[in-house]
Amino acid sequence: MSYPYQIKSYDEYKEAYQKSIDDPEAFWGDIAEHFRWHKKWDKVLNWNFKEPKIEWFAGGKLNITENCLDRHLEKLADKPAIIWEPNNPEERTRIVTYERLHKRVCQFAQVLKNNGVKKGDRVCIYMGMVPELAYATLACARIGAIHSVIFGGFSAQSIADRLEDAQAEFIVTCDGAYRGGKDIPLKSVIDDALIGNKTVKRVIVYTRTRTPVSMIKGRDVWWEDEMQAVTEGAEALKSDGFGEVEVMDAEDPLFILYTSGSTGKPKGVVHTVGGYMVWTNYSFVNVFNYQPGQIHFCTADIGWITGHSYIIYGPLSAGATSVMFEGVPTWPDAGRFWDIIDKYKIDILYTAPTAIRSLMGFGLDPLKGKDLSSLKVLGTVGEPINEEAWHWYDEHIGKKKCPIVDTWWQTETGGVLISNLAGVTPAKPSWATLPLPGVQPILVDENGKEVTEKDEEGNYKGNLCIKAPWPGILRTTYGDHERCRTNYFATYENLYFTGDGALKNDDGFYRITGRVDDVLNVSGHRIGTAEVENAINMHAGVVESAVVGYPHDIKGQGIYAYVIFNGRHFDDELTRKDILATVSRIIGPIAKPDKIQFVSGLPKTRSGKIMRRILRKVAEGETDKLGDTSTLLDPGVVDEIVKGKL
């Protein structure tokens, strides 16, 4: 593969950027020519942010899996598409070539069809990080079913809500998953999620841990049995369309991915086939400066957007080798990533600041004897990276020879929007730097006016918005377009609002400072404060709660909960554990508060609004900067809260 649209110098970047703004249709039309289409588009772009209505490559017909698989078969059949590293380093590695991946995807696509899955049906995928997760995802895309992957750390209740929202009829899962020293019983979580569910007709279960599962007659089937039936019948099936793709409209939905916002209920972000394909491929090739033959290791879970875009669709559409790791960075020891890099001679490492900070904590011992000299490019994603972590990454992992790309983007953006391009455009520690071609950021104040005055440090500071669509932008939130409009397009007229705050310097570089809405970013995971509050409030003894974030050395942000409790109370510690158990059950362990402070009241205005600013300051330990508390209904509660601070 070659990528005629790969940017090779800073000047070329400037030229491409200018062209993408002056004539976006010509710019993206040229790039889209390099993919496999059954029919070219009638119009590159139609859009307005008012409704919003965004269409890229309208009238175009394609299948994304042909672009990720079939078109590589002629030259790359024997090249590894996926290298799978098991949780336990003693277990056998699996290397899946493009040819084999193609075959498995076609086979599982047939399994889905045999089980009644049709174009447009929603298939929920709840699996550990095994190659079969990639097969299932791509098989859905191949037959035009809409996949909705749910991260393994979500509880049965969270899954139930998502199944209901998506009206999903099919589930693909595993008996269990290995993660570090733990076995997670995925199928039994699914069984709990299905109590009372009325839509799901079929559950396909892949065997990974051979943990006991209850297979329900008429509903549950084994992956292995279903696959075998297709293999045996493959010849017969060939004449019956085995391996054929569903030809999709460019604007048909590809997947739904749920993500947290400032309201209590997660939103099902919808991406469509054509634009998402172009954006993940274009951003992959350019941000990482990917060279044919390189091995790319993205440490994210496929349950998050980073895994969708930079383990599956971006790398595979570029014909790259993508490493998929089942385990965690610190098990059996903190040298796990470094072993993997050494073992497979990884070229590109893409991970999260929280992982870097946690590994920094183990010192340099885990790096001893590990050959990291294959590394060419390092990347980070998910949260702001602090300078200390950036320098450690640069010095000890990249040996000061690898550019670091700080990639800012979101579930809603499909792929990277602001980042330096590795080795091509300048880097600046803790700055995401420049927008990719096609991306037009703008910083606005609360009233939506562009910020034109610098702050005392000489930067522009404001809320980060984007002025026009890029191909990977979300199209809607599943089943509720109005929600999409109010969440992203109504805060400021004719702008997409990201929910993030940012700085911009005189070079036009952006530095993302974090969320300005009620969304927390804990270890790179997005969690809504309202969601956590709702979960805490489910506990029978809780009267009311308020949740804020506070700076956490490793996680970036920790969760601080203030709780008014009047239930049966043994001691604070036990009650805390009960509340944590409740949050785990309602959302999942990833949303458990780090600190719970019991209070007798919350600071409220006379109109009954909780003054989160004050709670945030207390949680941050800045009790001397509480500001004006005179408008509070009962200023006395603040003293109590300050005294009881954890």
172, 226 contact by CB (below 8 A) = no
487 is a site residue for ligand 6R9 (CB under 6 A): no
98 vs 497, beta carbon nearer ligand 6R9? 497
Dihedral, 575, 581, 583, 588 alpha carbons, nearest 10: 160
**Options 63, 306, 321, 420; binder of ligand 6R9; rule CB under 6 A:** 306
Q: Across the strands, what pairs with 381?
A: 407
499 is a site residue for ligand 6R9 (CB under 6 A): yes
Rounded to 5 degrees, φ, ψ at 535 are: -65, -45
407 is a site residue for ligand 6R9 (CB under 6 A): yes
Number of residues that bind ligand 6R9 (CB under 6 A): 23
Least distance from C-beta 512 to ligand 6R9, angstroms? 4
Cβ atoms within 10 Å of 450's Cβ, excluding its own: 13
104 vs 526, beta carbon nearer ligand 6R9? 526
Q: Which position has the token pair 């709840």? A: 126
Least distance from C-beta 419 to ligand 6R9, angstroms? 7
408 is a site residue for ligand 6R9 (CB under 6 A): yes
Q: What x/- string results for residues 233 through 272 when contact with ligand 6R9 is judged by CB under 6 A?
A: --------------------------x-------------
**Tokens coding 184:** 């997670």
The region of 190-198, 279-287, 375-383, 484-492 touching ligand 6R9 under the rule CB under 6 A is 375-383
305 vs 375, beta carbon nearer ligand 6R9? 305
Kindly state the helix (H) or strand (E) to which residue 13 belongs, with its residue range.
helix 10-22
Q: What is the 3-state secondary structure (H, E, C) of 492-539?
A: CCCCEEEEEEEEECCCCCEEEEEECCCEEEECCEEEEHHHHHHHHHCC
**Tokens coding 209:** 């841990």
**Options 202, 308, 526, 592; binder of ligand 6R9; rule CB under 6 A:** 526
Least distance from C-beta 381 to ligand 6R9, angstroms? 5
80 vs 558, beta carbon nearer ligand 6R9? 558
383 is a site residue for ligand 6R9 (CB under 6 A): yes
174, 206 contact by CB (below 8 A) = yes
410 is a site residue for ligand 6R9 (CB under 6 A): yes
Cβ atoms within 10 Å of 553's Cβ, excluding its own: 11
Q: What x/- string results for residues 80 through 99 when contact with ligand 6R9 is judged by CB under 6 A?
A: --------------------
Residues 6+ away with beta carbon under 8 Å from 460: 443, 451, 452, 453, 454, 503, 504, 505
Helix, strand or coil for residue 273?
helix
Determine the residue type at 626: L
Least distance from C-beta 608 to ligand 6R9, angstroms? 29
335 vs 556, beta carbon nearer ligand 6R9? 556
Dihedral, 277, 281, 283, 284 alpha carbons, nearest 10: 140
Widest CA span in the chain: 79
List the one residue out of 299, 293, 137 whose CA is nearest residue 206: 137
383 vs 518, beta carbon nearer ligand 6R9? 383
Determine the residue type at 569: H
Least distance from C-beta 415 to ligand 6R9, angstroms? 9
107 vs 420, beta carbon nearer ligand 6R9? 420
**By the criterion CB under 6 A, which residues form the site for ligand 6R9?**
259, 304-306, 381-384, 406-411, 432, 498-500, 512, 514-515, 521, 526
